[in-house]
Amino acid sequence: MALNGTLRPGLVQLRVLDFDKTLNFYKNILGLNEVCRIGEDRICLKGFDEFDHHSLTLRLADEAGLDFVAFKVASADELEKMKLAVEAFGYPVDTVAEGDQPGFGKRYGFTISTGHRFEIYSEVALAQKGPGIKNPDIWNEPPRGMRAQRMDHFLLYGPNIAEAERFCKEVFGMFVPEVCNTPDGNRLAAWITSSNKPHDLAFVEYPKPGKIHHLGFYLQDWADVGNAADWIALNRLKLDIGPTRHAITRGLSIYFWEPSGNRIEVYAGGYTAYPDNPQRVWDSSELGRGLFYYSGEVIPSFLEIVT
């Protein structure tokens, strides 16, 4: 596949309630590395297997939730073209100056139909502690805790996801490997990707705007999913569901809440997606099995709790 367009979700900013228990979770339990701090209220982190400066910023706030998600675009030239395409799609665009987040160049921001702030950027410095590139070991140092490799994807809840899906295809050049429709043919959920991963992001139709269901981190495999569950138990984190498998994306997964109340997924596996493969289509009546393949039933907390 060609190298142009949107590469990946590269930066997420979450709101957290404290830098004590919550930071301990992200660093010592999930296994991210702290990269830098921004003033008194923001801390930047990354997974051990990410090359870029950082991928997650935690901001102190009064309630949990999502500030924005940002996508890396392949070149400065494409960034400018994409900015115009966003505006042509109908969304006003603002500019976040280079250096607002250490290591990141200029970002363009806008709000999509679901009420989420999206950003795009093309410049980001390499991390000092990225994966080795000269005769590299598989890690520079052994992963900690749940051994999260990287920030992987997010599931967003909000209104008018049909437009959000169309935006991702038309402006970001993404494709949609899997969808779920209601009996009357409306889109209930869509899984969307810019790459071989089965999803880089997903949407669920929801009346309130700007909500995040979960932020997903990638693990090596089912054995690491089991290891993550042992860490959840040992640290008395609140489990939502899992270990389980999604029929949708085919991923192996656990959902739980971090200390500030943001739902986190640790995820492994998933099929290899190609844009020329047929789209998988789910009826909403079968969504239980699609989400939780083993039990076939959606648990209420999974559908009802978002931040």
Catalytic, 213? Answer: no
Within positions 59 to 88, which residues make up the interface with its own copies, using CB under 8 A?
72, 74
Amino acid letter, 221: D
Within positions 84 to 123, which residues make up the interface with its own copies, using CB under 8 A?
none
Within positions 217 to 246, which residues make up the interface with its own copies, using CB under 8 A?
218, 220-223, 226, 229-234, 236, 239, 242-245
Nearest to its own copies of 98, 230 (CB atom)? 230
Could you tell me the smallest distance in angstroms from the CB atom of residue 250 to its own copies?
5
CA neighbor of 72 nearest in space, from 211, 173, 158, 155: 173
> Token pair of 113, please?
């139909």
Nearest to its own copies of 3, 97 (CB atom)? 3
| Residue 276 is a binding residue for its own copies (CB under 8 A) | yes
Catalytic, out of 54, 116, 153, 213: 153
| Residue 286 is a binding residue for its own copies (CB under 8 A) | yes
224-256: b (≥16 Cβ within 10 Å) or e: bbebbbebbeeeebeebbbbbbbbbbebbbbbb
Could you tell me the smallest distance in angstroms from the CB atom of residue 62 to its own copies?
28
Nearest to its own copies of 22, 253 (CB atom)? 253
- Which residues, in sequence order, are bridge partners of residue 13? 57, 68
98-111: b (≥16 Cβ within 10 Å) or e: eeebbbbbbbbbbb
| Residue 2 is a binding residue for its own copies (CB under 8 A) | yes
- For 160, other C-beta atoms within 10 Å of its C-beta total 16
Catalytic residues: 153, 199, 214, 246, 255, 265
